């Protein structure tokens, strides 16, 4: 469904509690769909957008009760929503694990990005918005790598998004992953504390490396099943850095199976012969408690294709 073109008339809006807390530039980008970002910043810079009759900068955070004046803007038809495959959208709807008035948790499939961009026409969030065109608010709470499957949270209210982000800044959300690692694991659980830093190589590809100058990152690896030359582990994250599990696993000499960026090609080749066609990393469970609510737990088992790979491996006695 196409969004209506932005109004050619002056808009006078009052900010409610759900809209409060967001920056004015982000508010306008959502409100004026189809208007180029450069134009949004131009009308802010020229003072054409007013809050409580005064000029504001693009980083101003809206407060409940603010009165926002948006000038007339005409851009013709807004850009149509990305075209998506109807069958795949219906399939995504069937992967919803939990839903209430403020939150949706789904089992994200491997191979599907969480959002469009970088050559991807659409991702999970665009697909959900296409499935639910009348939903007033749908925003990602966190992200998963494109090739990682499992529990993904989408906020349906801004207040829930803020509350979950507050939990994420501490240790209020427990995230557990299942991963098949290359090599035979020795000993029991292992805590890895190794700072991570994002790098961009000459080709433009993003690489994350262990680096003393990086951001703190902590992971707990707990072996579950041992095979002759691979180990199924549960990983609990204390932090949520980009590619954290994949880089930490490679750092300790046990890269994630099927990982083409940080992995072991010999292991990957052998597991491809056993039917592994993707990254063996699955966000299988999360748990948290929002204020004045019961503790929420969500989980989803390994996809059948990953379970089949495990069954073809010889378990170590």
DSSP notation for 281-314? EEEEEEEE--TTS--EEEE-PPPHHHHHHHHHSP
Same domain, 90 and 147: yes
Answer whether residue 286 is part of any domain.
yes
**Residue corresponding to tokens 């050619």:** 8
Q: In which domain, by residue range, is 303 found? A: 173-312
Phi, psi of 38 (to 5 degrees): -60, -35
For residues 273-286, give the mean pLDDT.
Answer: 95
Statement to judge: residues 199 and 308 lie in one domain: yes
Residues 181 and 308 occupy one common structural domain: yes
Whether residues 126 and 226 share a domain: the answer is no
Contact 4, 32 (CB under 8 A): no
Q: Taking 50 as the threshold, does the pLDDT of residue 16 lie above it?
A: yes
Mean pLDDT value of segment 83-99? 74
Residue 145 within any structural domain of the chain: yes
115 within some domain: yes
Is the same domain home to 128 and 253?
no
Same domain, 120 and 215: no
The residue among 124, 155, 186 that closes a domain is 155
Q: Are residues 205 and 148 in the same domain?
A: no
pLDDT in tens, 210-231: 999 999 999 999 999 999 899 9
The whole-number pLDDT of residue 78 equals 43
pLDDT band at 131 (very low <50, low <70, confident <90, very high): confident
Residues 177 and 232 placed together within one structural domain of the fold: yes
What is the rounded CA–CA span in Å between residue 217 and residue 77? 45
Residue 161 maps to a domain: no
Q: What is the CATH number of the domain that holds 195?
A: 3.30.2350.10
Range from 133-142, 164-173, 272-281 that averages highest in pLDDT: 272-281
Query: Where in 168-313 does DSSP place strands (E)?
Result: 173-182, 190-193, 196-200, 206-210, 218-226, 230-237, 281-288, 296-299
Res 2: pLDDT: 45
For residues 191 and 251, the answer to whether their CB atoms sit within 8 Å is no
- The residue whose two tokens read 């966190």 is 142
Residues 95 and 15 in one domain: no
Whether residue 165 lies inside any domain: the answer is: no
- Closest alpha carbon to 285 in 142, 107, 163, 110: 107
Digit-coded pLDDT (tens) for 177-203: 999 999 999 999 999 999 999 886 756
CATH number for position 129 = 3.30.70
Question: Closest by alpha carbon to 104, among 85, 131, 82, 64?
Answer: 131
Residue 91 shares a structural domain with residue 210: no
Neighbours of 293 (CB within 10 A): 13
Please give the positions annotated as active site.
145
Least confident among 45-49, 114-118, 261-265, 295-299: 114-118
Considering the domain architecture, whether residues 130 and 240 belong to the same structural domain is answered as no
Question: Percent of the chain, pLDDT > 70?
Answer: 89
Distance CA 233, CA 189 (A): 9
CA atoms 56, 62, 67, 73: torsion sign? positive
**Residue 166 is assigned to a structural domain of this protein:** no
Residue partners of 177: CB distance under 8 A and separation at least 6: 148, 150, 234, 235, 236, 237, 245, 281, 282, 283, 284
Q: In this predicted structure, what is the pLDDT of residue 85?
A: 56
What DSSP string runs through 80-142?
PPPP--HHHHHHHHTTEEEE-SSEEEEEEPTT--SS-BTTBS--HHHHHHHH-TT-S--EESS
Residue 306 included in any domain: yes
Is the residue at 77 inside a domain?
no
Q: Which among 70, 94, 109 is the end of a domain?
A: 70
State the average pLDDT over residues 50-78.
Answer: 83
pLDDT tops 60 at residue 76: no
Domain count for the chain: 3
CA 260 to centroid of chain Cα atoms: 20
Residues 104 and 184 in one domain: no
Domain-ending residue, one of 102, 129, 155 = 155
CATH of the domain at 19: 3.10.290.10
> How far is the C-alpha of 231 from the C-alpha of 257, rounded, in Å?
10
User: Between these two residues, 135 and 50, which has the higher pLDDT value?
Assistant: 50
Q: Is the pLDDT of residue 86 over 60?
A: no
Helices 124-131 & 86-93 angle (0-180, nearest 10):
90
Q: pLDDT at residue 232 above 70? A: yes
């Amino acid at each position: 469904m196409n969004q209506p073109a932005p109004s050619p008339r002056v808009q006078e809006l009052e900010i409610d509690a759900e809209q409060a807390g967001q920056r004015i530039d982000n508010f306008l980008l959502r409100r004026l769909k189809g208007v180029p970002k450069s134009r949004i910043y131009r009308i802010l810079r020229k003072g054409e957008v007013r809050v409580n009759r005064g000029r504001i900068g693009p980083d101003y955070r809206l407060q409940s009760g603010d009165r926002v004046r948006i000038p007339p803007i005409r851009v013709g038809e807004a850009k149509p929503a990305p075209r998506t495959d109807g069958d795949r959208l219906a399939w995504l709807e069937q992967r919803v694990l939990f839903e209430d008035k403020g939150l949706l948790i789904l089992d994200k499939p491997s191979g599907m990005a969480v959002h469009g961009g970088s050559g991807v026409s659409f991702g999970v969030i665009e697909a959900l918005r296409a499935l639910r065109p009348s939903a007033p608010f749908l925003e990602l709470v966190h992200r998963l790598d494109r090739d990682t499957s499992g529990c993904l949270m989408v906020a349906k209210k801004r207040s829930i998004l803020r509350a979950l982000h507050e939990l994420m800044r501490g240790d209020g959300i427990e995230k557990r992953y299942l991963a098949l690692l290359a090599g035979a694991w020795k000993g029991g659980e292992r805590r890895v504390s190794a700072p991570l830093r994002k790098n961009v190589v000459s080709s433009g590809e993003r690489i994350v490396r262990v680096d003393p100058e990086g951001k703190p990152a902590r992971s707990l690896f707990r072996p579950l099943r041992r095979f002759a030359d691979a180990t199924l582990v549960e990983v609990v994250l204390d932090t949520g850095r980009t590619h954290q599990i994949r880089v930490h696993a490679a750092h300790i000499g046990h890269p994630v199976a099927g990982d083409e960026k940080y992995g072991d090609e010999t292991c990957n080749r052998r597991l491809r012969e056993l039917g592994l066609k993707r990254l063996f990393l699955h966000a299988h469970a999360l748990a948290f408690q929002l204020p004045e609510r019961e503790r929420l737990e969500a989980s989803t088992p390994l996809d059948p294709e990953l379970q089949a790979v495990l069954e073809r491996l010889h378990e170590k006695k």
